[in-house]
Amino acid sequence: MEFEPFQRVLLTIEYDGSGFYGWQRQANFRSVQLEMERAVSRAVGRETTIWGASRTDTGVNAVGQRAHFHNYSTIPAEKFPFVLNTMLPPDVRVTAARNVPEWLHARFSCRGKVYTYRIHNSRHASAILRNWTTHIPVPIDENKMYEAAQRMVGTHDFGAFQAAGGTAKTTIRTIHGIDIAREGDDITMIVRGSAFLYNMVRIMAGTLIAIGQNRLSPDCINEALETQNRLVLGVTAPPNGLELTRIYYDLDGERAPGVAGYEEHAVLESKMENEMESEMENE
């Protein structure tokens, strides 16, 4: 069979997860991967598979999902956001595209990720923010959350922070930093790490919320890291508060600080370490 040349294209994708049963393609349910594959296949004129970096769950949002595909068409990579966004539903958008080397795989070449968890800490839920925040009506002390969160920074066995169904070969993970801040009724938690286990960030968030409400002691984190006992931690926080914010690769320009449209990330990303450990599993 004659070799057919192609370019490997890496996309950056934003989506509102409230209308999807997660990223991964599945029968009889709407998924982001399926919507992307339909649009790309239509654009390039042939059936095309999309490989995503993170298999986000039902209801999880993203502003920085990454995915690659093989482009056999003559469409330049930088034109794909304009082409695909005319074909995608309004709750999915491609925000950037670039050609990348053939060695790069969206999932397995990942060098680090940033997740954001948002809490609307008010007596009343927000109609506007309901799909992008978790509503917690009981007061939370964000300073207690932050102090407890620092116990998770570093390289640890996070086995207790993995939900049932996780398939990671190792539960050792490196967390580079956790920042927590309040603005009015809204608390934002930003977690930067090499890789994450299944539901890891949501378990971290649920545990820190309980600590911020004095329902759990911060010592539960140390006990969980030492014993891998899931039962000493808090509940898994709801998916709608979670956002996949950014994914990094060993590519030129990938260390630029900040995330477009989110001023707080520009400050936090400036503190990112120069090197992030390479691991293959993701949440």
Contact 65, 32 (CB under 8 A): yes
Spell out, as residue ranges, where the chain has pLDDT lower than 50.
Answer: 256-283
Give me the pLDDT at residue 255, please.
59
Instruction: Specify the 3-state DSSP secondary structure of 264.
Output: helix
Q: Please state which CATH class domain 7-100 belongs to.
A: alpha beta
- Please count the CA atoms within 13 angstroms of the CA of 77 that sit on its side-chain side: 18
pTM of the model: 0.86
Using alpha carbons, list the distances in angstroms from residue 14 to 32, 97, 241. Answer: 10, 12, 15
Among residues 16, 57, 157, 186, the one annotated as catalytic is 57
* Domain-wise residue ranges, the chain: 7-100, 112-269
Residues in the chain: 283
What is the C-alpha separation between 247 and 153, in angstroms, rounded?
A: 19
The DSSP element (H or E) to which 35 belongs, if any, is: helix 32-44
Give me the pLDDT at residue 44, please.
96
CATH architecture of 112-269: 2-Layer Sandwich (3.30)
Report which of 139, 118, 138 is spatially closest to residue 128, judged by C-alpha positions. Answer: 118
Give me the pLDDT at residue 271, please.
35
Give me the pLDDT at residue 269, please.
37
Give me the pLDDT at residue 1, please.
54
Give me the pLDDT at residue 167, please.
76
Give me the pLDDT at residue 171, please.
94
**Tokens 């920074």 map to which residue?**
153
Using alpha carbons, list the distances in angstroms from residue 19 to 14, 23, 57, 58, 243. Answer: 13, 11, 11, 8, 14
What is the C-alpha separation between 44 and 29, in angstroms, rounded?
A: 24
Same topology, domains 7-100 and 112-269? Answer is yes
Give me the pLDDT at residue 253, please.
67
The answer to whether 57 is a known catalytic residue is yes
